[in-house]
Structure formats: structure tokens, C-alpha cells
Amino acid sequence: MLRLSILIFTLFVFGSAQAATVMITGASRGIGFEFAQRYAERGWDVIATARSPGDDAELQALAQKFDNVRIETLDVTDHAGIDALAAKLEGTAIDVLINNAGISGGRNTQEFGAIDYSVFDDVMNINVLGPLKVTEAFLDHVAASEQKKIINISSSEGRLSNVRGARQPFYRASKSALNMVMKNVSIHPEVQSKGVIIGLLTPGFVDTDFTAGLPKQLMIDVETSVSRSMEMIDKYDMDMSGRYFANTGDEMTW
Amino acid sequence: MKSCAFAVAAVLISFSAHAKTVLVTGSNRGIGLEFVTQYAAAGWDVIATSRSPGDDTDLQALAAANANVKIEELDVTDLDEIAALAKKLEGTAIDVLINNAGMFGARDGQTWGQLDRDLFDQVMAVNVYGPLKVTEAFAPHVAASDEKKVVVISSAAGSIAAVSSPPGAPYYAISKSAVNMAMRGTAMRLKEDGISVGIFHPGGVDTRMLREAFGLSQAEAEANEDYDYRGFTPLSPQDSVAQMRAVITGLNAENTGSFLRYDGDTVRW
């Protein structure tokens, strides 16, 4: 009898430890999709969000294949929509929230002398204010989990201490701005009192739609990038919160 | 006769050496107004821009007293207005372009739990997109000058490395990190044209904006010129601007794109 209750207890503990949940924004393609697939394979519950998931055949197929993948519609510039999803998921603990959704704003549109200012608001709203708003709305879901991690996909392009060349001022400014806002969030009293870890990770130069047209010989494939990122996410602890790491493990200067 | 010709030549030379031009955005108050005052006193031609100069009595008085101060209307978020002014000033060499216009943004719209998207767009437009667009539009005027310098008034609030407590106004901090990056990249591009770019932290200067940073609303900050800053001793605009002018003189191809304090010390990113 005692043995049986120990067995039941053990199953219960292991069972709950395995049911970790990850939520990923921008999960329809590229790095976000790869995260969804890999965490699904790992047996995690995956909340994969995308702006218009009805159009995302790959993501739909993934959700068909894995019972543990659930798709939700989320546009990170739609603050009411973010609040609505947070309310819908009330009571769901999210171990790892990955703020992955982002845009580059294009390259030709950001050439000095011919900068197209119409892309500015989208770049800043999707890459900077979006992650801040999502973090704010889902803080309690993350705080209620075991792992309590909010991981932001930044970029080495946001690194002020290592600027070579004038390319993509909006995109790069947005990543410096994301680093700033997440460092701020990491020391916010509410975030600290809830024990939530804030990560900033650079994925490397990854072969996705995002980098289409750039030299492939310098790129890593998305599987490699996401493997490294998942390893880093596993390692992320409170001491690393608010710091800026390459997914290869090296800390970066701002 | 000969000595007279020398005298004329000397006057001509010294005149042409002195006829430098500076363009200052947001020149109706605070640091911007002080730049106008000091460059005008130094004999420079000053193009002083502001969003609605008709309302700016201090700036109007300065222009009335100084023939070398010319006022132009410019909203740094208005692309058409920027393009029109650049066209109007075609052929005018601008030695120093000072991107000074900036805003702090009401705290209510940028605190945890009350993020206001419209305020975010406005702060980012004025503080990031504005300086980049103005620099892009006036780069040919600057390239045609002797000094070839572009300045942006940023803030140590944008130093990611220096963050030690959460700011009361995250949008302002975000915008300053962002403009630092935008101008640092632009500095690389402008180096090809011999233009040097300085990114400045002006210090904690006794202005309406500093009072906003201390938690006063814009209306309170406007009214409360004798605010005590809770024991903090601010720099005067005169002191900050005099020191920045000296550092601007020393901007060159080596230090272009650096983040500099008003006294020339480097600020961490």
C-alpha cells in the first residue's frame, strides 16, 4: 500500500514536471515554427501563435500531427487581442514564453538617401512594443509556471558596441531598443518579485525567409540555430536575467 | 594702398571664416534655444527651427535682436515639411546640423499596465525617425560645408549598460537606445562624405524636460521653473551647451559615431 502510494506520488510528480508549456509568437515560419516543432517533439505543450494562422499550412500540419500543439491567433501589435488571449489562457501556466515575432522592414526600404519611413511604425511596434506588451499581459501565466522564463529573440544587429556599416537603421535600432526595454523589464519590481527570468538571445545568421537574398555561405540552418537556442533556454537562470547572450553561449556587450 | 588691400583681404578672409552656419531643430526652448543663443553670439548664421515658431516668444525675441538668426518652421515628424525646407535651403552649406528636437512623453501612457501605443509611436517618431530623416534630408547641405558635422542630442537614459533601476519613462529610454543605433550606423555611411557624427548626452540640464523626468507633468514642468530637483543640482543650459560646442568642434573621422557626454567623456552603450 505504501509502495503503491509512493508509485502514484512519483508518477504524479514526474507527470507534472513533464507537462511543461511553451508559448511562441510568430510561430508560422522560420525560427518560430522550428521552435514549435522542436518543443512539440520534446513533449511540451506548445501554444503556437501567428497573425493569421488560417493561412499557415505548415503550422496547421504540425498541429494535426501533434496533439500537444495548439494554435492561437495573435498579432503582437493588437494590444486588445493580446489582452484577450491572456484572458482566454487564464490559469494556464507558461514555463517559457518566446517573444519571437519580428520583421526586418526590408533592405531597400532602409538605404540611406532613400529610406521609406512608412515601415518605421511597423518595425518598432512589432519588434519592440509587441514583446513588451506580450510580456506584460502574460507575466502572471509565466510566474505561475515551474521555469518562469521569458525569452526574447534579439539580434547581434542590435549591438551598439559592434556596428559595421549603415544597413537597416530601423531594424537595428529596434533590436537595440528591445535590448533596452527587456533589461528594464528584468529589474521591474513586479517581475523580480515574481521570480521571472528575462532572456535576450541572438539566433545567429539563420537561413530563413527573413534573410532571403543574403549570402548563404555565411548562414547556419534553422535547425542548428534553434538547437542552440533551446540549449541556452534550458540553461537560463536568474543570474543571466537581463543579460544579452548569443545562443552559442557567449555573453555580448551591448 | 597696399596695406589697405591687405586690410580688405584680411577682413574678407576673417569674414568668410566666420560665416559658418548651424541648423538647430527644436530651438524654441531649453538646450535648443541655448544653442541658438550661443552660436548667434559667436557670429554664426543660425537657422533655428521649431514646430510652431509663431508661439515662441523667446525665439522671436532672439531673432529680432540678431540679424544672423533666421527662423524656419519644422516638425521633425512631417516628411513633407522636412523635404520642403531642405529644398528651400538648397545651396546653403550647413556646417553643423544639430538634431535637438525631442520629447519625453507623458508617464501615464508608458508605465507597466498602461502601455499606450499612440504615445509610443509619437515618442519614437520625434526622437528616432525625426533625427534620421532630418539628417538624410540635410546631408547634402552638410557635405557642402567646411565643418561637416551632424549632432544628435541623445541621453544617458538610452545607455543599456547603465540601467540600474527601471525608468519611469521606458519609451523615452527605448527611443534613445534606438536613436543611438540609428545614428551610429548613419555615421558609418556619412564618413564616406567626410561628415562626422556626434551622439551627445547633454547632462542633467535645467529644462522643462528634466522636470518631466523628475515626475512633473508637462504643464507643471512648464510652470515650475524654480523646481528644486529634490536636491539634485542640474547643469545650466549655458554650461551644457558651451561644453558641447567645444566637443562638437573636435568631432572628426576618428571619433565619429561615438556616444559622448557634454564634456567629451565617452558614455557606455
Dihedral angle of Cα A34, A40, A44, A49, to the nearest 10 degrees: 60
ipTM: 0.92
B4 has a pLDDT exceeding 70: no
Percent pLDDT > 90 in chain A is 87
Contacts of A96 (CB under 8 A, 6+ apart): A20, A21, A22, A23, A147, A149, A150, A151, A233
| pLDDT tens track for A57-107 | 999 999 999 999 999 999 999 999 999 999 999 999 999 999 999 999 999
**Mean pLDDT within B53-70:** 96
* Nearest-CB residue to A180 (from B165, B173, B268): B173
- Nearest-CA distance from A148 to chain B in Å? 19
- Under a CB-based contact definition with an 8 Å cutoff, are residues B140 and B192 in contact? no
Q: Using a CB–CB cutoff of 8 Å, tell me whether A20 touches chain B.
A: no
- Nearest-CA distance from A213 to chain B in Å? 21
Distance of CA A229 to CAs A62, A156, A171, A222, Å?
20, 14, 21, 10
| pLDDT tens track for B115-158 | 999 999 999 999 999 999 999 999 999 999 999 999 999 999 99
Q: How confident is the model at residue B2 (pLDDT cuts 50, 70, 90)?
A: low
pLDDT of residue B167: 75
Q: Which of residues 91-120 of B touch A (CB under 8 A)?
A: 112-113, 115, 117, 120
Return d(Cα B191, Cα B210) in angstroms, integer: 33
pLDDT of residue A13: 46
A7 has a pLDDT exceeding 80: no
- Lowest model confidence (mean pLDDT) among A94-103, B38-47, B99-108, B159-168: B159-168
- Lowest model confidence (mean pLDDT) among A175-179, A183-187, B163-167, B240-244: B163-167
- Closest-CA residue to B77 (of A172, A120, A128, A130): A120
pLDDT of residue A217: 86
pLDDT of residue A2: 53
pLDDT of residue A209: 85
Q: Using a CB–CB cutoff of 8 Å, tell me whether A119 touches chain B.
A: no
Contact criterion met (CB < 8 Å) for A183 and B163:
yes
A151 has a pLDDT exceeding 70: yes
Return d(Cα A72, Cα A202) in angstroms, integer: 25
Return d(Cα A76, Cα B44) in angstroms, integer: 48
* Nearest-CB residue to B166 (from A117, A136, A188): A188
| pLDDT tens track for A172-189 | 999 999 999 999 999 999
pTM: 0.93
* Nearest-CB residue to A166 (from B121, B158, B186): B186
pLDDT, averaged across chain A: 93
Distance of CA A250 to CAs A240, A253, B54, B176, Å?
12, 10, 54, 26
